[in-house]
Copies of this chain bind each other. A is one copy, B any other.
C-alpha cells in the first residue's frame, strides 16, 4: 500500500492543505482492487456481481419446437385451405406425422418428425369423424382420432421455433462484472446452472464515536452507526460489526477481520478529535482533510492490511464523505461500478446556488417540475436536509456556483423510479 505521510495531529489547526477530491478519489481507487470471487447458490445470486464470463453450454430451444399452441402439420397439406374451402386432415397422436394428418401440440413441445408448421387454433376446427358434426365447444383432452377442418394455409416454419433460435450453444451470455438481474437468474437456471462465481461482498468494520450531546433533551442518539450500516449494505458490503470508538485503541482490532474500516467521528480539528491520531498510532494516516463540503474532515489511511476511511462525526458530513469516498471504495472492492448509485436527471437551476471555489460542494436540492432549489446552505441543515431533499448536485471545485437557468445533473435519492405523470 502506497501512502503519503501526513501530520497525525491536526487538532487546534485549520486544514490548511486539504487534498482535492480528485486526489482523494485516486487514493480510493488505488486501494480498492476487486476482491476474490466466491461460489454461491444461483438462487441467492440476484443483485450479486458476476465474477466470470458466462457462455451458454446449450442451445435454447434444444430442438425445433412449437412456438404457439395449435396443431403440427405439413405446411404443404394446408395449401388452398380457406373459409369457403376447408380442407380435412386426420387428427392423430404420433411422433412422426403421417401424410394428410395433424398432431395437437402445445407451445414448447418438440415438433413431430415431418411437421414443418403449426396451425393455430383459430384456423382449425375439430370434427367428430364418425358423426360428421362439427364442434369447438366440448372436446376430449387430446382431440385425437378425429378429423380436423382447416380454414387457412400456413407457410413452412409458421409457429415453429428453431433449435438455437434464442441462444446458440457457446454464445456469450453474461459478462463478468454484471449485477445479476432476475431475468439473468432465470436464464442461468434454465441452462442448468446451480452455483455461480460472484465477487465476494466486502467486509466492513465500523467504528463510531459517541455522538456529541448538548442541552438536556433527548433525541441525541448515534445516527452514524445505523446509517453507515444501511449505506454499506446498499453498496453490496457486509458489516462485520459496529463498535463504539473509544480513545483506547482496541476497537481497531476489527480491522483484522475487515476488508475496509470506516471510522466515524472525532475526525476534525477540535481538542477531542483523536481519531486520526489513534489511526496513526495503530496504523498510518495517508491523507486528512479533503476539499469537500460537507465532509471536509474526511481522511484515509490503513490499519494492518485494511484501508481505513475516516469520516466526520456530524451525520450530514459523515453521509457526504461516505457517498463521495467510502461508498466508491466498497463498490469497487465488491466488483461493482464505482459511480454514485443514484439515477441522474438533468434539471434547471431555479434560485442561484452559491459554492466555494476550490472545494467540491455537495448541494442538497428539491426537484420539482424539472427545476431545482437548494435546501439550506453548504454546511447547514444537518441530516434533515438530506431527508427533505430529492437528491443532490455535485458542484465542481473551480465553480463558484450556478446561476438561475443553468442545466445541471441531479443525483436522485431512492432508487431512481420516476413517478408516472
On A, residues with C-beta under 8 Å from B are: 11-14, 42-43, 46, 56-65, 67, 69, 104-110, 120-122, 126, 136, 139, 141-143, 161, 163, 165-167, 169, 173-174, 179, 181-187, 189-192, 211-231, 233-234, 268-273, 313-315, 319, 337, 339-344, 379-387, 413-420
Contacts and interface: CB of A to CB of B under 8 A. Distances in A.
A44 to B, nearest CB: 9
Contacts of A141: 11, 271
B212 A108 contact: yes
A220 B69 contact: no
Given A182-B227, A227-B185, A414-B181, A315 B190 contact: yes
Given A12-B126, A62-B214, A106-B271, 6 more contacts: A69-B270, A109-B270, A166-B382, A183-B319, A185-B230, A190-B222
10 contacts: A59-B219, A61-B214, A62-B214, A106-B271, A106-B272, A167-B382, A182-B228, A191-B219, A340-B417, A416-B417
A313 B227 CA distance: 42
A205 B61 CA distance: 28
A342 B215 contact: no
Contacts of A225: 189
Given A163-B215, A214-B65, A344-B418, A190 B383 contact: yes
A222 B179 contact: no
B214 A109 contact: yes
Oligomeric state, in number of copies? Answer: 2
B166 A381 contact: yes
A107 B383 contact: no
B384 A167 contact: yes
A187 B383 contact: yes
Which one of A105, A233, A315, A384 has the greatest number of beta carbons of chain B within 10 Å? Answer: A384
Given A343-B417, A416-B416, A106 B270 contact: yes
A108 B167 contact: no
